[in-house]
Amino acid sequence: MSRIRLEGLTKRFGNARRGSTAAVDSVSLDISHGEFVVLLGPSGCGKSTLLRMIAGLLPPSAGRLLLDDRDITHVPPKDRDLAMVFQSYALYPHLPVARNLGFPLRTRGWSRAAIDRKVTEVASVLGLEELLKRRPKELSGGQRQRVALGRALVRDPGAFLMDEPLSNLDAKLRTATRTELTALHRQLGSTFLYVTHDQVEAMTMATRIAVLDKGRLEQAGTPSEVYDTPASVFVAGFMGSPPMNLLDARLESRDGRVHVTARDIDVPLEHPADEPPSRDVVLGVRPEHLTIAGERVPEGPRFRGAVDAIENLGNEEIALCSVGGARLVARGPRPLGLRAGENVTFTTSPHHVHLFDPASGRRLV
């Protein structure tokens, strides 16, 4: 039963002469037993490097790694009680599924009968019973992915490490496999640590998302926390599609209230911020919280703008708008009842306003 603790894990690549850059920069994270933690971030942010250090495939440049209370920073991969599932599946093409599944147990010296028993058990958990005699090339991508998972499962590891395991699957199969993985996690109750750049995978499967940017941990929280209260401008802009509207703005005190103003936008905040009343901020509003002020919309701060274009997503529409020269995106159920070229009045609720510090990018309220 495994709790994984990362303490200031760092990986620098490069050499003394050319200088080195930190692909992973002092990441600390405490992963409890049974969590499904997704490491999320754009390409090159250091997710795979971090996972590879945890798996023992790359030595850290600094920091410590603990499994339960055991320091495993320098323990070889095979002695870590962690099982890695690779994007490429890494199956043996000449071996049938049953032998692929049993392989890790054979190398550990298990008896034939014990291996057969375990392989049967895992095949039943993953629905692979009918496929045991086939070779990998006779399987679909989704089936191969399940065999790769099965090969990790036979070892009863303390935790599963997965690096973009769904990236070779088509969209429909990805959705189905996401559901299967979530169910499997619930059934096994083990710790899952999963790397992806796909925020939908993260939002739908994770119990906690760790968002990385340029090797640094920006935020770790439940999917709702990361979406509803992003800790930084980076997280705000990365989570959500289309992403949060972000504008250079100012906080000002007027008529006993603190207002946030940006171009033609002026939103009085409900609770006065603790900040000095006059300062630069970054204002964030999610597209779904920018409403067109029609008759049914309750009173709120209003600002005028124009609709530049409408995108039809089937169930929803996206309105690309401009307000005082700034580009804003609104999103809502279809039809929004808007036309390109139309002048409209927008509103938003002070509850839905996010404020960030322009210098550090960190969240203010």
* Shortest distance, position 44 Cβ to ligand ATP, whole Å: 4
* Shortest distance, position 358 Cβ to ligand ATP, whole Å: 26
* Shortest distance, position 11 Cβ to ligand ATP, whole Å: 8
10 Å CB burial of residue 14 (0-12, 13-18, 19+) is: exposed
Q: Is 23 in the site for ligand ATP (CB under 6 A)?
A: yes
DSSP for residue 288? G
Q: Please, which residues bridge with residue 159 across strands?
A: 82, 191
- Cα separation, 69 vs 2, in Å, equals 9
Of 2 and 48, CB closest to ligand ATP: 48
10 Å CB burial of residue 226 (0-12, 13-18, 19+) is: buried
Quickly tell me which residue has 């710790």 as its tokens: 191
Of 57 and 306, CB closest to ligand ATP: 57
Number of residues forming the site for ligand ATP (CB under 6 A): 11
3-class DSSP state for residue 107?
A: coil
Q: Strands 245-254 and 316-323, how do they pair?
A: unpaired
**83 Cβ contact partners less than 8 Å away, ≥ 6 residues apart:** 152, 153, 155, 157, 159, 160, 161
Of 192 and 303, CB closest to ligand ATP: 192
- Total count of residues recorded for the chain: 365
- Cα separation, 82 vs 163, in Å, equals 13
Of 197 and 250, CB closest to ligand ATP: 197
Helix extents (H) in 33-170: 47-55, 97-106, 112-126, 141-153
Of 45 and 115, CB closest to ligand ATP: 45
Residues between 26 and 55 with contacts to ligand ATP, criterion CB under 6 A: 41, 43-49
Of 48 and 348, CB closest to ligand ATP: 48
- Cα separation, 51 vs 47, in Å, equals 6
How crowded is residue 182: how many other Cβ atoms within 10 Å of its Cβ? 16
* Shortest distance, position 200 Cβ to ligand ATP, whole Å: 15
Q: How far from 308 is each of 72, 242, 293, 322, CA to CA, in Å?
A: 56, 16, 17, 7
Of 13 and 92, CB closest to ligand ATP: 13
Give me the 181-200 binding string for ligand ATP, x by CB under 6 A, dash otherwise: ----------------x---
3-class DSSP state for residue 323?
A: strand
Of 43 and 187, CB closest to ligand ATP: 43
H-helix or E-strand containing 196? strand 191-196
Of 45 and 281, CB closest to ligand ATP: 45
3-class DSSP state for residue 177?
A: helix
* Shortest distance, position 66 Cβ to ligand ATP, whole Å: 21
Chain residues that interact with ligand ATP, rule: CB under 6 A: 13, 23, 41, 43-49, 197
